[in-house]
Amino acid sequence: PGTDPEQLRLLAVRLAAEAGRLLLEHRRGVVSVARTKSTATDVVTAADLAAERRVRELLAAERPDDGVLGEEEAALTGTSGLTWVVDPLDGTVNYLYGTGSYAVSVAVVAGPPRPDAWRAVAGAVLDVERGQTFSATAGGGARLDGPLPGGEHADGLPLEASGCTSLAACLLGTGFGYDAGVRAEQGRAVAELLPRVRDVRRVGAAALDLCMVAAGRLDAYVERGLHPWDHAAGVLVAREAGAVVTGPDGGPVDARLCVAAAPGVAAELDRAVRESGYSPHHLP
Ligand code: IPD
């Protein structure tokens, strides 16, 4: 197996498509999931597991020397120096409730499989229900493939972050973790930012939030508490689309903080984030 970034991107796209097909298959026939919680939870578990298992099977057959870090199963250490970082279902709650906006996120990274130490090589995020694939290679730009509103079809459409130049005009995405204490802190931080921005959106899938910044559908995004598989592919896509993506104190993204912003608003947002409850000095 080679290390050509474009070949790796194509494989990431194919793995995401295969996982997405399984997610759609598992969702078929599931109605009123919000009202039948135990069944719904089982459905999600089955869908997540089946999608990740399939990705792992394909990788084992095609790239047996690579490592795999996925949300659902134990990490697999490889010998090639490359690791696939996989979220088989990002946006679990959207999937449960049938609100759309859930994704498969697949990235391949070089170096130690830790966000502060790895170098992302290629990645793909599939917005499963819209059939849109956001993908990128390091240094090769980010692209969109799939149907567009109005019946058009994107075929390698270059992605570009928005031209937003002020916080007051910034449409800001954010997200919340599952832990009550973390949520309380996130709520306080959002309350500080809300009066200073155009508005706030909670898409419900971190990988998609990052791709929305890449596509200029959000001007910026801020969240803390992400897992490596939530952001590995999306951060690469956003950066390759010209967004500025940082973690605590301007360093690499990690579990404490992920800020992605159109270049014209990045510095102002960075200051606002530092002043808000998202400041790393306020984080555990
Ligand atoms: C979650 C989603 C959500 C974000 C959370 C993530 P999951 O991932 O990306 O938007 O706010 O922090 O944990 O659980 O749906 O894979």
Is the domain of 119 the same as that of 224?
Answer: no
Ligand 1 centroid–CA 167 distance in Å is 25
Kindly list the protein residues whose Cβ atom lies closer than 6 A to any atom of ligand 1: 87, 89-92, 175-177, 204-206, 223, 225-226, 230
Position 29 scores a pLDDT of 67
Look at residue 120 in the predicted model and tell me its pLDDT.
97
CATH number for 67: 3.30.540.10
- Same domain for 117 and 213, yes or no, is no
pLDDT the model gives residue 202: 97
Counting the structural domains of the chain, the total is 2
Residues 42 and 150 in one domain: yes
Distance 1 CA to ligand 1 centre (A): 32
Which residue among 90, 183, 190 is best mutated to probe the pocket of ligand 1, counting the most ligand atoms within 8 A of its Cβ? 90
Same domain, 64 and 149: yes
Q: Verify that 83 and 121 share a domain, yes or no.
A: yes
- The pLDDT averaged over each successive group of 10 residues in the chain (284 residues) is 95 98 86 54 83 97 97 91 97 91 98 93 98 98 96 97 98 92 89 97 98 98 95 98 94 93 98 80 51
Residues 117 and 243 in one domain: no
Is residue 133 domain-shared with residue 253, that is, in the same domain? no
Q: Which residues contact 33 (CB under 8 A, 6 or more apart)?
A: 39, 40, 43, 96, 97, 98
Q: Which of 100, 132, 158 is the last residue of a domain?
A: 158
Do 83 and 116 sit in the same domain of this protein? yes
Domain boundary among 158, 179, 200: 158
Last residue of a domain, one of 158, 193, 216: 158
Q: What's the 206 CA to ligand 1 centre distance in angstroms?
A: 6
Q: What pLDDT is attached to residue 41?
A: 67
**68 and 144 both lie in a single domain:** yes
* d(CA 60, ligand 1 centre) in Å: 27
Q: Are residues 145 and 176 in the same domain?
A: no
Phi, psi of 199 (to 5 degrees): -175, 175
Same domain, 27 and 154: yes
Domain that holds residue 173: 167-282
> At 255, which CATH number?
3.40.190.80
Query: Going by CA atoms, what residue is nearest to atom 14 of ligand 1?
Result: 92
Q: Are residues 140 and 96 in the same domain?
A: yes
